[in-house]
Amino acid sequence: MTLPSKKAKVYGPYKGSKQNGGRSIVVKYDPKSQKTTSTNAARHKKETSLGRKLGKKEHVDHADNNHKNESSSNLKVMSASKNIGKGNQNRKKK
């Protein structure tokens, strides 16, 4: 007899704080390991749509640079170095 697999429960999204620029977060509880983690809501949404976890060197980029717009068409996976470079360019313009 096999036991049913327990999936992680996801809570949120919750409004982010000033520390993370107001970006939404989700909280995940894994009943198997009994650990709670939080992650960026955009990253969670993209991982769910792709059906896989993103690597540490993969970031989720908002195409229109509006972190409140988390529609599927606005989110894309980008290498961490390119996404950081894009953010630096955007800061330079201000």
Range of the domain at 88: 9-93
* pLDDT given for residue 77 in this prediction: 95
Is the Cβ–Cβ distance between 79 and 87 less than 8 Å? no
Residue 89: inside a domain, yes or no?
Answer: yes
- Candidates 82, 86, 21, 73; CA nearest to 45 is 73
Instruction: Find the CATH number of the domain harbouring 51.
Output: 3.90.75
Residue 3: inside a domain, yes or no?
Answer: no
Residue 75: inside a domain, yes or no?
Answer: yes
* pLDDT given for residue 5 in this prediction: 56
Q: Looking up tokens 């792709």, which residue turns up?
A: 50
Residue 2: inside a domain, yes or no?
Answer: no
Tens digit of each residue's pLDDT (9 = 90 or more) over 35-47: 999 999 999 999 9
Which long-range contacts link 46-49 to residues 24+ away (Cβ below 8 Å)?
A: 46/75, 46/76, 46/77
Would you tell me how many other CB atoms lie within 10 Å of the CB of residue 11?
12
The model's pTM is 0.79
Domain count, the chain: 1
Query: Residue 19 carries which side chain, given as an amino acid letter?
Result: Q
Residue 77: inside a domain, yes or no?
Answer: yes
Residue 61: inside a domain, yes or no?
Answer: yes
Residue 69: inside a domain, yes or no?
Answer: yes
